[in-house]
Amino acid sequence: MKTLIAVTTAVALIFLQACSSAPKLSEAEAMYTYPKVAELQQALLQTNDKNLSLLAPINYQQAKDSLSKAETMAKEDNEEASEVALNGQKYLNNSLAHAQSAGNIFAEVMEARKQAIERGSLNSTSAKLQEVDNAFTEVTKKYEKGDQASAKVRRPEMIQRYKDLEMTAVKKLTVDQANAALKQAKQAGAEKYASKTYASAEQELNLAISILESDLNNQDKAMMHAKKSIWQSQRSMHIIDTVKEFNENNFSSEDIVLWYQQQLVKAVGPTGKEVPLNQPNHELVTSVAVSIQSMNKEQQNLKLALTDSDKRFNDGARMRHEREKAVEDSQELFSDDEATVYLQHENVLIRAHGFSFQSGGSEIDAQNFALLNKINKTIEKFPESTIVVSGHSDSTGNEKANMSLSKERAEKVALFLSEVGGISTSRLSYEGYGKNKPVESNGTSEGRASNRRVEILIKNKA
């Protein structure tokens, strides 16, 4: 029984200790309760791009340590968390001040570091960079402690170390592929079977290295020579294959020439030209060059023709889009009972059924002026067009009279567009069709109303 009581007591004590050590507040509650801790947390987050860990490492680390301690205390609802956070803010302020001063003193070092990362394509977390950063941090710690003289003495050393890093990275980026290609060619026997080409590859690689060592800013030129080295290495590999084929098949000098001529025939084959193998070599080569030039010219002419065709197509598509937009904008000018605007290929048709002529008359009533002005605004969107105004009637009444009246009404509209709208008469014409071109059935009153209309056809250039 005593043993059971002892065990129960021990478990209870452990439980109470666990409860007492568990955080009392969540992180959100802690930050709300202790705003100074939240302020320090935010302030440290905003210093990520200020290089404080490099330029003022001592105070910066103390600020981070203070934040960690203050966060823990805040979660435990310890009122001293605010005081710790205030001390952390002091450390951070000191760090910012030291970093600004050190940034001026070590500006060249920081620039060399930046170049090592950017131009050398180094990862900012790479081991080699971290090694030099650690050395630089020891220098800035001395500066932060007030030992400025000994810190300044080491500036040239740090600049050189970052430049060495950059050199290593650039060489790796530029030269490694060329080295690998050269090594592969050597292993394949390029020194024996393609010695001249292999030597050229070596020379280009050495030039690339020399350029980098003399001027890191000339990376483009170094890269060009490195690419040439790769190209020559690859060329030597194919030369090896060909030479070995000759050797394995015991090619005589004549066999080699015949093989070479056969390759020329294959190359010229797509042109359909015959290769003059009965001519001297220089004439043979000239003939092949002429055949290839002729084919290139034909291709260029075809390309120009296609380009011109594409341009015409694109111009046509652009014009079509512009006309569609103009028609859309024009339709918005008219109400449903005034007119409808249509795009017909390159032309635009305004079907106006909102005119109010007196019965049997053709004079334009003043209440139609607003509609005519809208028609005129639509025409203005197509300045290169010609305009055909046509009058239409329904099937009721005398056919001859309807034909005459529809023409008179078309004429009056055209006259208005010229005299009031300012459209040149050279662009205008008019016609009357009577009942001959209905748009709906004349069997209903609605259909007859639709057929009594004036149409304005805006004819654009194709």
DSSP string for residues in 401-450: HHHHHHHHHHHHHHHHHHHTT---GGGEEEEE-TTSS-SS-TTSHHHHHH
Please report which helix (H) or strand (E) contains residue 398, including its range.
none
Q: Is 441 found in the same domain as 376?
A: yes
Please say which residue of 234, 250, 266 terminates a domain: 250
Q: Is 345 left (phi over 0), alpha (psi -120 to 50) or beta?
A: left
Q: Is 269 found in the same domain as 310?
A: yes
What's the CA gap between 142 and 148, in Å, rounded?
A: 7
Please say which residue of 105, 135, 170 terminates a domain: 105
pLDDT in tens, the chain (462 residues): 444 444 445 444 444 454 455 568 899 998 999 999 999 999 999 887 679 999 999 999 999 999 999 999 999 999 999 999 999 999 999 999 999 999 999 999 999 998 888 865 455 557 888 899 999 999 999 999 999 899 999 999 999 999 888 877 777 777 888 999 999 999 999 999 999 999 999 999 999 888 888 877 787 788 899 899 999 999 999 999 999 999 999 999 999 999 999 988 888 888 788 888 988 888 888 888 888 888 888 888 888 887 777 777 677 778 888 888 888 888 888 888 888 998 888 899 999 888 877 767 778 878 888 888 999 999 998 888 999 999 998 888 888 888 998 999 899 899 999 988 889 999 999 999 999 988 888 888 888 888 888 999 999 886
Q: Is 220 found in the same domain as 245?
A: yes
pTM for the model: 0.43
- Number of structural domains, the chain? 4
Residue 159 counted as domain residue: no
Residue 91 counted as domain residue: yes
Q: Is 385 found in the same domain as 280?
A: no
Confidence at residue 22, expressed as pLDDT on a 0 to 100 scale: 56
Q: Answer for the pair 433, 390: CB distance below 8 angstroms, yes or no.
A: yes
- The set of residues, in sequence order, having a beta carbon less than 8 Å from that of 238 and lying 6+ positions away, is none
Q: Is 314 found in the same domain as 197?
A: no
Residue 42 counted as domain residue: yes
Nearest to 333 by CA among 366, 372, 386: 372
> Can you give the CATH number for the domain in which 432 is found?
3.30.1330.60
- The set of residues, in sequence order, having a beta carbon less than 8 Å from that of 187 and lying 6+ positions away, is none
Q: Is 384 found in the same domain as 279?
A: no
Confidence at residue 3, expressed as pLDDT on a 0 to 100 scale: 46
Residue 110 counted as domain residue: no
What's the CA gap between 359 and 411, in Å, rounded?
A: 17
Q: Answer for the pair 66, 40: CB distance below 8 angstroms, yes or no.
A: yes
Residue 8 counted as domain residue: no
Chain centre distance of CA 170: 27
- Give residue for tokens 């043993």: 3
Q: Is 345 found in the same domain as 308?
A: no
Residue 141 counted as domain residue: no
Strand partners, 342: 349
Q: Is 241 found in the same domain as 255?
A: no
Residue 176 counted as domain residue: no
Q: Is 267 found in the same domain as 242?
A: no
Please report which helix (H) or strand (E) contains residue 76, including its range.
none
Q: Is 339 found in the same domain as 445?
A: yes
Sheet strand arrangement including 347-352:
339-344, 347-352, 453-459, 386-392, 428-432
| Amino acid type, 273 | K
Structural domain range at position 391: 333-459
Q: Is 227 found in the same domain as 314?
A: no
- In this structure, is the dihedral angle defined by the CA atoms of residues 254, 256, 257 and 261, taken in order, positive or negative? positive
